[in-house]
Every structure is written in C-alpha cells, then in structure tokens.
Chains A and B, each alone.
Chain A
C-alpha cells in the first residue's frame, strides 16, 4: 500500500510536471535547502512546539470544562456558586504568556538578524531580479548576462560555499519573490531596491511563485531556480555570454524575425533587436519553459505562443501579432536556433 502510494506519487511528480530535470515540484517550506530557509525552519519548529503545547493545554482545559460542567438532568435546579474572579489565577495566566512572548521574541530576533543582516561574501554571485507584469527578468551585472524566468545559480557546498545575492527591483507594480525551499519571500516593489540571498545545497529545479497580487496573470508569474554544479554553471555562463547564434542556415528566418515588430520589445544579442519590454531571447532555447514557467518550451508550444499568446496566457502584455503562416514558420525556426 505504502510503496504503491509512493510510486503513484513519483509518477505524479514526473508525469505531471516533467518539464525540466530533477524538479523539486512540492515547495514545502519545512524541507529547506538553503541557509535562509534553514533559519526560518529552525525558529518555526520552536514556534510550532510552543503553540502545540499551548493548544494541548488550553484545548484540553476547554474540553474538560465543557464535559465536566455540562448541566446534567440529575443536577439540582439551583444556580452554581457565583464566582467573580481570582487574582492569583488571573495573575498566573497573565505572567505565563508574557514569558512565552519573551522567549519567542528573542528566537525571532535572532532568526531575523541571521537572515537580514548577513554580510555578503566578496565572491557572492550578484543577480538583479526585475519583476514585470507577469514575468521575471534576471540580470547578472558582473557576467553581462540577461535571461528570464529561470534563475541559474551554482550549488553551494561546505567545501565551496556559493552565495547568490539578489537585488530586487520592479519595472511596474509590486511583486514578491518566493521560492519556499530556498528562502522566505521578499517583495519586489517599484521605486525601492530590496535584497535577499540564497545558497542552495541541493541540485535541481526549485519552484516558486510571485506572491504579491500584481494584476491579471499574477497566477502565472512562476519562478524556477535551477541549481547546478559549479562546472555546469560555468558552462551555462559561458554559453549565455556569447552573442546569439548567427548561423547562416537560418539567415532567411532571422531576416524575417528582424523585420517584424518582435524587435520592439525583445532583445537578441548581436542583432538590431534591442527591445527591453519583454524577455531577452538571445538564448531562448536554453530555457525549459515559456510564458514565465507556464508551459514547456517545445516547438509546438513556441509556435502556439507566437501565434496567439492571449489564447495561452490571457491578458499578458504580448499582443497577437497576426503573423501569416510563413512568418510564423520563419520566426519559430529562428527562435529555435537560439541555443
């Protein structure tokens, strides 16, 4: 029974959410995989223990009182003894909660400082996270990389700790960056720059969501954090740093793409496409999803998206460009070459 359940669970995870490798699809905050999430986990366990104890004591007293002091048929009809209060008991049940608040307050203060006032190491990977209605832009200022919706960071190990220091900015309204297994959420607010950090110690893809209501497609502003071994990460960085491919086999498709309105909003490095309103497409094929984590990045999905993005993600800010089927073929062909 148990093992068949587990197999069913495993199937669930692989079949239903199979895009991308090694996806930690259930984002349980009680399975932390980075230090900030650990700090939250530790204070949360203390908090749960205290609250469970209070619940058992007070809930038990309530239950006992209700059962013991219910009116029974055999009772005499007189009213019970009229008790107005008791200073001693009342002082006790005031002082005990005060002490509990002190303990929990100190544990909280410690965890807040651990997470918020951590000094960033000099070799921290700097990433600027920019929230847009309804997608994420990730910029690596020291590496000259711009990508979208899938944040790549190296694995942190005891031998080689790796911290990613995130600066959070918004291009429009308030959003919130939340990947529960790596850290608590931090809001992404226009006009101010917030910071957070992660040092994931487990490889794979961690899932998260925008956690501040930001308009029509708030639900589909998904986050994927891809944690790779240092070698894999270096390879990814090297690929991303290159200009987009100038493969002569797609020259015609490229010319079509550059002749269309696509370039007003999207950038493809090394070409005249320099728009910044939509996601950077220079290495689109290195991403596993489209539409900010909404659908797998396959040929069919890419074609369907370009044909009518509103049919897939209603209200998103990419218009239906009314491409004819030749243009559509060419654009898909060109984008598919952007490894």
Chain B
C-alpha cells in the first residue's frame, strides 16, 4: 500500500496526474456543494437565523472561489492531461515533470485556501476564512476594511493555483504543437484537442492580469502601495478592470472544456461526424478572441460613459454568434443520426437545452439597460449557474461516464447513471429556474437573509428544496463510482464504438499508451479502421 501511494505521489505520468486532478476537483466539488447547501438552508425561509452574517459571507466567498479555481480549473487540467496525449497518439505530455509540479502547487494552493478556516485571522478572530466575495471588490479587501489575514489566504492561494494552471496550459500547448503522431495534422486533430489548445492559449493571456492584480493588492495591504486604496487616492474601479480582464475570458476557459467534451460525445452517440467541423474550430477561436474584449459587461453599473456601455453591450452580444454556431453544429450532428441515449449522451442533451437558456439569458445580460436592473441580483446568480452547472457540469458528468471506462477499465452503471441524470435535472431546474424570478423581483445576491413580504419566500423555498434532489443525484454518482471500481462491467478497449485514438489502446492504457505509435489519415482514425469501404480520408 505505501508503495502504491508513493507511486501516485511521485508520478509524472499524464494519466495519473489527470486522474489526480479530476479526483481533487470532485472532492472540492463536494466541499463547495456542502457550502452551497448550507447557504440554501439559510435562505429557505425569510429572517432565518441558522447562520450569522459573517459565516454566510465566508460561505459564498469560499463556494465561488472553490468552484472557479479548485473545481472548474482542475477539471480543465485533468481532462487535458489525461486525454490530449492519447488523442494525438503521444506517449506523454511534453513536460512530464512540469506537469507534476503544476498539480502539486495547485493542490497546495487549494489546501492553503481551506487552511484559513483554521488559521486565518479576520474580524472575528482566529478561524476566519476569506469573506470578501470571489471577485473581492476593492476597497473592501484593503486593510482598513479587511483586517487580519483572511484576505491574504485568498490572494496567495489564487496566485498558487494560477501557477499550476499556467504550467498546465504551457504543457498542453507544447504537447499539441510538438507531439502529434504521424499524419495527425492540425486539421485532423480531434475537436477536443483543438478546444484545449484554444483554452490553454486563453489561460496564458487571461491569468497574468489576475496575478498582477493580486500582487498589487498584496502590495497595498503590506507595503503601503495605493493601487486600490481609495482613501489614499487609489482606484476601486481599476481592480474591477484587472479582475474582469481575467474574469471574463475565465468564464470561457471554464466553459470550453465542456464544449470540448460535448464535441466528442455528441457525434459518437449520434453516429455521425461533427457537422461543420471547420466552422466549429473557427467559432471556438472566435469565442476566444471576442472573450478578451467584453470584460466590462460585468461593470455596466459602475458608471461608464454611454459609448463604453454600448460598445461592451454589442461586443458581448456578438459572442452569441459563434456560440450559436456551436449549438447549431451539435444540432446538425444529431440531425439525421441514430441517437443512442446512454448516460454520456443524456448529460449532453441536458447540456444543450440548458446551455441554450444560459446563452439566451447571457444575451439578455448583454443588453446593458436590462443588466442595470438584474446585475448583482439573483438573476445573474441563476444565469451563471445555468452556464456552469447546467452547461459545464453536465458535460463534465457526461465526460466522466464516457471516459471512466477508458481510465479504469470498468463501465459505470447505466441505471445509477440515469438516476444521477434525472435527479440532477429536477434539482437543477427547481433551484435555478426559480432564482431568475427572485432577481427580477429585486432580490440582490450575497444577502444572508431577507424580510418577508417582498415576493421572494416561495421562490427561495423551492430553490432550497431543489438542493435535496441535486444532492441525491450526486450521491448516485459517488455510489456509482465506488461500486463500479469494485465490480463494474469490464469495458474493453472501445465500449462506445468511437472514432478517436484513445479508444485504440487498452483500458486502462499502459504506461506508454501505445505499443506502436499510430499513424492517421483523417480526423476519425478508428472510423477508417472500421469502415475500410468508406473511410473519411477519401473526403479530405
């Protein structure tokens, strides 16, 4: 046993590191879920006194920070690490040891954040986690308003996890550029790999402003700088620009891995190639580029000029165009297919409907005047949970069911998978459909309680009841994973009759991935192998 543990600690194998990333993400996901459930318990009734305000404020800060930096980001890193070399026919990532470094520094960053619950010092003395919100608007983070060290834990852990993510991004790019097998031109690369290439490039552009902002904040707090210290002439709005120049691309950095998974799963279960593949790649690059020019749509209410507001409104709406192309391409892929409804595909179908709504509420939020009403309200909370839970998490769960057999050699149970899916769908809609309306009725986000009589009671109660279903769904997943690891059906090399290279090797793949490095002639090498009479390369 110790030697097995030792193997995992010292590993530089991309598959093990990928599994470590994803397992860590799932654990932090469970923790963040508990934090969310506590908040929903407090908000189920008006004037509830279950949680005092300071505890509640720490919960939403930790929930947001965890979900973005310790769940979404490692899911990206884990999937990219596990699948990229397999899909491009390589034996490992370009920099295996950088890969291990990235994981461990990310993990220590995450642990540091939670250590604040024990050792952080804040207004309430020892044991104070950060309480400034996950985007930590200045000057609330300055020492005048945030005494003690809780905010420093937040700053340092984000810098650390950022180093890990940057290492992953560099590694993914280097691997894709230099490690593709023979015949794997960029044009033939699986869409998953393409999307990971775009995400990694976005990481390299988006993270530096975040890190710079954190360093400036640290200088403010300890070395008497005044970047964001308004009492000394600093600018509160400057922080918002730094944060959202990172924060908006970040939304797509989180979301594109979900698109990447959907773009592998939907074709396989529709039994057709991706419809409009070049347009799909183009749309992804388009989203990546547009996303760096729309950050101030998080700031429509800070008092920008009319012309700035109009620019950011129209630019943000324009993101809807490539995003729409993606939805249409998935639709076109399914159209005329023979769709199999195994659990991975169910999650992708849930994703398509929910992401359609998330996209439409996103367009609504780009309408600056509407945004003046609903920004920082529960409408926005509902919107981004539609994106990140209804969109991203659904595709990630689909991906888990899809690639779990490859990584472990065991199938997950379809029955438990369907329970997981339907419970999550019911819970998700109970919680987040209703919260849109709470926002429209004037309920601001981040309030620890509310008075009765403002039309929010029923909506909040339904939203809280939804959590029970969501928790039950996730419990099905946990049980499914434990049960299948012990006695799941053997998966074989290619349980889904799929077309990309990872399905050409054993499940789980050996240390060296492929005994003989493959050579490909199209974007669906296994289709070519299975259909010698009608191979894809004939149409290239």
Interface residues of A, Cβ cutoff 8 Å to B: 12-13, 16-17, 25-30, 37, 39-40, 43-44, 47-48, 51, 54-55, 58-59, 61-62, 65-66, 69-71, 75, 79-86, 89-90, 93-94, 97-98, 101, 104-105, 107-109, 111-113, 115-117, 133, 168, 172-174, 176, 178, 180, 183-187, 189-192, 194-195, 207-219, 294, 314-315
Pairwise interchain contact A51-B454, C-beta atoms closer than 8 A: no
Pairwise interchain contact B313-A90, C-beta atoms closer than 8 A: no
Residues on A with C-beta less than 8 A from B366 are 108
Q: How far is the CB of A28 from chain B (nearest CB, A)?
A: 5
Option from A16, A51, A219 in Cβ contact (under 8 Å) with B448: A219
Residues on A with C-beta less than 8 A from B453 are 12-13, 16-17, 25
Most buried by A among B314, B334, B442: B442
Over the window 332-343 of chain B, the binary record of Cβ atoms lying under 8 Å from chain A Cβ atoms (1 yes, 0 no) is 101111111100
Does B57 lie at the interface of the complex (its beta carbon under 8 Å from any beta carbon of A)?
yes
Pairwise interchain contact A217-B53, C-beta atoms closer than 8 A: yes
Option from A43, A69, A194 in Cβ contact (under 8 Å) with B334: A69
Option from B325, B341, B454, B534 in Cβ contact (under 8 Å) with A90: B325
Residues on B with C-beta less than 8 A from A116 are 305-306, 309
Pairwise interchain contact A28-B440, C-beta atoms closer than 8 A: yes
**A112 and B314 alpha carbons, distance in the complex (Å):** 12
Over the window 137-150 of chain B, the binary record of Cβ atoms lying under 8 Å from chain A Cβ atoms (1 yes, 0 no) is 11110001100000
Q: How far is the CB of A130 from chain B (nearest CB, A)?
A: 14
**A97 and B279 alpha carbons, distance in the complex (Å):** 15
Q: Which of B278-323 contact A (CB under 8 A)?
A: 278-279, 301-303, 305-306, 309-310, 313-314, 317-318, 320-321
Interface residues of B, Cβ cutoff 8 Å to A: 52-54, 57, 123, 131-133, 137-140, 144-145, 230-231, 233-237, 270-273, 275-279, 301-303, 305-306, 309-310, 313-314, 317-318, 320-321, 324-325, 327-329, 331-332, 334-341, 349, 352-353, 356-357, 360-361, 363-364, 366-377, 440-455, 531, 534, 536, 539
Pairwise interchain contact B140-A101, C-beta atoms closer than 8 A: no
Pairwise interchain contact B444-A65, C-beta atoms closer than 8 A: no
Other A-B contacts than A85-B277, A105-B313, A173-B236, 16 sampled, CB-CB below 8 A, are A47-B363, A58-B327, A69-B335, A69-B337, A80-B336, A83-B332, A98-B321, A108-B313, A172-B139, A172-B145, A173-B139, A174-B138, A190-B230, A212-B137, A214-B140, A315-B54
Residues on B with C-beta less than 8 A from A174 are 137-140, 236
Q: How far is the CB of A5 from chain B (nearest CB, A)?
A: 12
Q: Which residue of B lies closest to A113 (CB)?
A: B306
Pairwise interchain contact B137-A105, C-beta atoms closer than 8 A: no
Q: How far is the CB of A94 from chain B (nearest CB, A)?
A: 6
Q: How far is the CB of A33 from chain B (nearest CB, A)?
A: 13
Given A97-B321, A185-B375, also A55-B357 (CB < 8 A): yes
**A59 and B352 alpha carbons, distance in the complex (Å):** 9
Residues on B with C-beta less than 8 A from A219 are 53, 446-450
Residues on B with C-beta less than 8 A from A48 are 364
Pairwise interchain contact B440-A30, C-beta atoms closer than 8 A: yes
**A264 and B384 alpha carbons, distance in the complex (Å):** 45
Residues on A with C-beta less than 8 A from B145 are 133, 172-173, 215
**A195 and B495 alpha carbons, distance in the complex (Å):** 62
Residues on A with C-beta less than 8 A from B331 are 58, 61-62, 65
Option from A133, A184, A191 in Cβ contact (under 8 Å) with B235: A191
Pairwise interchain contact A66-B320, C-beta atoms closer than 8 A: no
Interface of A, helix, strand, loop or mixed by DSSP: mixed
Q: How far is the CB of B279 from chain A (nearest CB, A)?
A: 5
Pairwise interchain contact A218-B446, C-beta atoms closer than 8 A: yes
**A28 and B439 alpha carbons, distance in the complex (Å):** 9
Q: How far is the CB of A325 from chain B (nearest CB, A)?
A: 27
Given A43-B370, A185-B301, also A17-B313 (CB < 8 A): no
Q: How far is the CB of B528 from chain A (nearest CB, A)?
A: 12
Pairwise interchain contact A108-B368, C-beta atoms closer than 8 A: yes
3 closest Cβ contacts across the A-B interface? A184-B372, A27-B442, A17-B453
**A104 and B366 alpha carbons, distance in the complex (Å):** 10
Pairwise interchain contact A66-B450, C-beta atoms closer than 8 A: no
**A80 and B270 alpha carbons, distance in the complex (Å):** 9
Option from A93, A112, A209 in Cβ contact (under 8 Å) with B442: A209
**A192 and B440 alpha carbons, distance in the complex (Å):** 28
Pairwise interchain contact B376-A211, C-beta atoms closer than 8 A: yes
Q: How far is the CB of B444 from chain A (nearest CB, A)?
A: 4
Residues on A with C-beta less than 8 A from B337 are 69, 80
**A115 and B370 alpha carbons, distance in the complex (Å):** 12
Pairwise interchain contact B369-A184, C-beta atoms closer than 8 A: yes
**A296 and B231 alpha carbons, distance in the complex (Å):** 34
Q: How far is the CB of B468 from chain A (nearest CB, A)?
A: 24
